Amino acid sequence: MAQEVRGVIAPGRDEPVRVETIVVPDPGPGEAVVRIQACGVCHTDLHYKQGGISDDFPFLLGHEASGVVEAVGEGVTEVAPGDFVILNWRAVCGQCRACLRGRPQYCFNTHNARQKMTLTDGRELSPALGIGAFAEKTLVAAGQCTKVDPRVSPAVAGLLGCGVMAGIGAAINTGGVSRGDSVAVIGCGGVGDAAIAGSRLAGAARIIAVDIDDRKLGTAQKLGATHTVNSRDTDPVEAIRELTGGFGADVVIEAVGRPETYRQAFYARDLAGTVVLVGVPTPEMKLELPLLDVFGRGGALKSSWYGDCLPSRDFPMLIDLHLQGRLDLGSFVSETIELTEVEAAFERMHRGDVLRSVVVF
């Protein structure tokens, strides 16, 4: 039987979000209903609210979440009621060319739940990133659920579902950071700091954190940065070269998404080094580079989507490392809040006051 629960809705372009009653159907074939325990506030939720991602209002916001599977539909074998899970954006098909080549993170046929959640007046909701987890319960494809060790705090677990995975994965999956490497991370918000934590995990010898905000550089140090550069008053490319014996970093991770920081990342790498682009630019942004610099410096320019993660491989592994005390995920939770406080949390995020605010249920 369909259930009524509370959820945070973005009703229209730039309108404040509000808590409304939503209707969650019973899971159909291949689907699961998850009782949400925690969901982080991410920039992408704000972009949905502002109409920057699509016009399919009303949105059910929230997508960095963990919870307990309540019910599963026909044919579901991945998870069972009672399992503690982290949600991911899309279930992979397992059959397309990308999946069969062992690269399911590039699956062509990813999917979400097929049924729709609605408002009580019957209007269909668009769940943010196919999740919609600022809600007491949500409906997803069963393949969007990854079972992890339930001893972890739900607030910490949820963050792996998006920003923190994007950052850690940028370092260990996309960037291939290895023991002894020098790494520079430009932009130390939640994503950049996660790239720092991932670089430490991978055994990087030098981790240079770059930001324009000293508060952010403080947190970056806590998470493993060995050097910090405030690029408001110092040229970061010069500073990174100096800190790497004049060479540049083996891996540079850009986690801002602006032309000037893309340029800095490009020039801060060692010859044959790797640049990993994580920050998402807007459609009108452009960057002009001398082709001879592109050709002559060798190495690789890579973009990193969702940290090139494989949820079934990476989520349980990272939770285990956290539970063993080898990966500090707790520092990413700046505050825990109620479902009614999402709008205020957007403002704190916008001002740069928090790494992550997390709604706990």
Among 15, 70, 213, 320, contact with ligand APR (rule: CB under 6 A): 213
Which of these ranges, 48-56, 239-247, 274-282, 292-300, lies near ligand APR under the rule CB under 6 A? 274-282
DSSP helix/strand/coil, 344: helix
133 binds, among Zn ion, ligand APR, none (CB under 5 to 8 A by kind): none
Return the residue matching tokens 């806590």: 222
Q: Which residue is nearest to ligand APR (CB)?
A: 189
Q: Phi and psi of 302, rounded to 5°?
A: -130, 140
Specify the long-range contacts of residues 311-316, CB closer than 8 Å, at least 24 apart.
311/86, 311/88, 311/146, 312/146, 314/160, 314/165, 314/168, 314/169, 314/173, 315/86, 315/88, 315/146, 315/148, 315/160, 315/165, 316/146, 316/147, 316/148, 316/149
Q: Which two tokens stand for residue 264?
A: 């800095």
186 binds, among Zn ion, ligand APR, none (CB under 5 to 8 A by kind): ligand APR
Cβ neighbours for 88, distance < 8 A, ≥ 6 positions apart = 144, 146, 161, 306, 309, 311, 315
List beta partners, residue 85. Answer: 67, 147
Q: Phi and psi of 303, rounded to 5°?
A: -100, 150
- Rounded Cα gap, residues 45 and 135, in angstroms: 13
Q: Does 198 bind ligand APR (CB under 6 A)?
A: no
Q: Does 211 bind ligand APR (CB under 6 A)?
A: yes
Q: Does 49 bind ligand APR (CB under 6 A)?
A: no
Closer residue to ligand APR, CB minimum distance, 4 or 214: 214
274 binds, among ligand APR, Zn ion, none (CB under 5 to 8 A by kind): none
Among 163, 175, 198, 248, contact with ligand APR (rule: CB under 6 A): 163
162 binds, among Zn ion, ligand APR, none (CB under 5 to 8 A by kind): Zn ion
Among 23, 191, 265, 310, contact with ligand APR (rule: CB under 6 A): 191
Which of these ranges, 33-41, 95-103, 153-161, 257-265, lies near ligand APR under the rule CB under 6 A? 257-265
Among 39, 195, 278, 358, contact with ligand APR (rule: CB under 6 A): 278
Residues near Zn ion (CB under 5 A): 42, 44, 92-93, 96, 99, 107, 109, 162
